[in-house]
Amino acid sequence: MAKKAKNIVYKRLIRSYVTSVISISLVLVLVAAAAVFAANAGSVARWFKENMAVSVLLKQSTTEKEGRALADALAARPYVKESRFISKEEGAEEMKGLLGEDFLSVFESSPIPISIDLKLDGDFITADSLEVIKADLLADRHVEEVVYQESLVEALNANLRRISLVLGIVILLLLVISFALISNTVRLNIYARRFTIHTMSLVGAKRSFIARPFLWQAVIQGAVAGIIAAVLLYAGLHWAGRGSDLLASLLDMRLVWLVLVGTILLGIAICVVSTLFVVRRVAYVSKDDLYY
């Protein structure tokens, strides 16, 4: 009867162990996914910034030759990543797409000026830097107006800070969940072997000697969970990258690999720390508490 009860306990322990590994793996996938986004947040924000157009509207007296020369000159400036000259005809075609074919019929001559679309280096996309760049562009005698979305720049920088804060809170909560899952599994493991542990403590076994087998199990459990999480995340990123060239270009694979390795090490670290915590609290219970 005692043997049957013991087998039941060990079967429950194995099921709990497997369930815990799977649960920890899923939590680590979420942690690693958040970490990948956080690690690449700079490149994502940079992509959005560098794809924000700054329109340089030229005066009506400016010829196309002068406009093209100015576009080439602007392309050489340190804050410009890309310069695109837009003729009156190209500008009219773009406006037709927005306002309809007949929007020019009310004008005797085309009001669309020659313009230059600039894409700036991401390091210069701040409110203060854009004001300096705007003043520099307006200093040219051919430039009539410089247009960009100031609210978009402010919203982008503000939202990036909020997203980083939210990701930090999410990662912290997921780590707490992982710690709780592992602690419950270790507690059940210790409960199944509580009489053996109590006997070892009575004959003078040191705490490190008692904790050693649990720590090895924790290392194996954390490594397995971390490897599973890393494989799942890599497979997900590889699948998503195949369907999106943009995602593949935004992700820095060196950072991704660092996150994947860190996921395995994090799984081991969480398991070891939680195991030490539980062993210290549960291994040396009183004799009366062994039956509860």
Strand partners, 117: 55, 84
Residues 139 and 177 in one domain: no
Residues 6+ apart with CB under 8 A from 285: 194, 198
Amino acid at the residue 91: G
pLDDT at position 5 over 60: no
Residues 81 and 115 in one domain: yes
Q: Which residue has the higher pLDDT, 218 or 102?
A: 218
Of 89, 121, 148, the residue that ends a domain is 148
Picking from 203, 190, 178, 193, the residue whose alpha carbon sits closest to that of residue 273 is 178
Residues 237 and 130 in one domain: no
Amino acid at the residue 36: V
The domain that holds 91 is classified in CATH as 3.30.70.3040
User: Residue 108 has what pLDDT?
Assistant: 45
User: Residue 145 has what pLDDT?
Assistant: 84
Residue 176 lies in a domain: yes
pLDDT at position 219 over 70: yes
pLDDT at position 248 over 80: no
pLDDT at position 106 over 50: no
pLDDT at position 192 over 80: no
Count CA atoms closer than 13 A to 233's CA, side-chain side.
29
Residue 155 lies in a domain: no
Helical (H) or strand (E) element with 8: helix 2-39
Average pLDDT over residues 231-253: 76
User: Residue 261 has what pLDDT?
Assistant: 92
Residues 172 and 280 in one domain: yes
Residue 153 lies in a domain: no
Q: Are strands 80-86 and 143-147 parallel, antiparallel or unpaired?
A: unpaired
Orientation of helix 207-242 relative to helix 2-39, angle to 10°? 50
pLDDT band at 215 (very low <50, low <70, confident <90, very high): confident
User: Residue 109 has what pLDDT?
Assistant: 47
User: Residue 107 has what pLDDT?
Assistant: 46
Domain residues for 60? 53-148
Percent of the chain with pLDDT over 70: 72
**How many angstroms separate the CA atoms of 184 and 170, rounded?**
21
Residues 168 and 260 in one domain: yes
**How many angstroms separate the CA atoms of 58 and 104, rounded?**
19
Residues 27 and 172 in one domain: yes
Residues 37 and 178 in one domain: yes
Lowest mean pLDDT among 2-6, 80-84, 133-137, 266-270: 2-6
pLDDT band at 231 (very low <50, low <70, confident <90, very high): very high
User: Residue 267 has what pLDDT?
Assistant: 86
Of 148, 179, 198, the residue that ends a domain is 148
* Per-residue pLDDT reduced to its tens digit, 143-155: 888 887 766 666 6
Of 123, 148, 173, the residue that ends a domain is 148
**How many angstroms separate the CA atoms of 150 and 132, rounded?**
13
Domains contained in the chain, number: 2
User: Residue 282 has what pLDDT?
Assistant: 64
Under 8 Å between Cβ of 107 and 124: no
**How many angstroms separate the CA atoms of 270 and 31, rounded?**
12
Paired tokens of 141: 């005698």
pLDDT at position 234 over 60: yes
Q: Where are the beta strands (DSSP E) in the chain?
A: 53-58, 80-86, 115-120, 143-147
Residues 37 and 125 in one domain: no
Q: What is the CA radius of gyration of the chain?
A: 31
Residues 127 and 41 in one domain: no
Paired tokens of 131: 């004001």
pLDDT at position 247 over 70: no
Residues 195 and 256 in one domain: yes
The winner for highest mean pLDDT among 77-91, 101-115, 255-269 is 255-269
What separation in angstroms does the CA of 117 have from each of 86, 125, 139?
7, 15, 17
The winner for highest mean pLDDT among 128-137, 236-245, 257-266, 267-276 is 257-266
Residue 186 lies in a domain: yes
Residues 80 and 38 in one domain: no
125-160 CB burial, b ≥16 within 10 A, e <16 = beeeebeebbeebeebebbbebebeeeebeeeeeeb
User: Residue 118 has what pLDDT?
Assistant: 85
* Per-residue pLDDT reduced to its tens digit, 40-56: 777 777 777 777 778 88
Q: Which three-class secondary structure state does DSSP give residue 256?
A: helix
The winner for highest mean pLDDT among 84-93, 104-113, 157-166, 251-260 is 251-260
Average pLDDT over residues 78-83: 85
Residue 124 lies in a domain: yes
pLDDT at position 63 over 70: yes
pTM of the full structure: 0.65
Tally the residues of the chain: 292
Residues 105 and 223 in one domain: no
**How many angstroms separate the CA atoms of 260 and 35, rounded?**
10
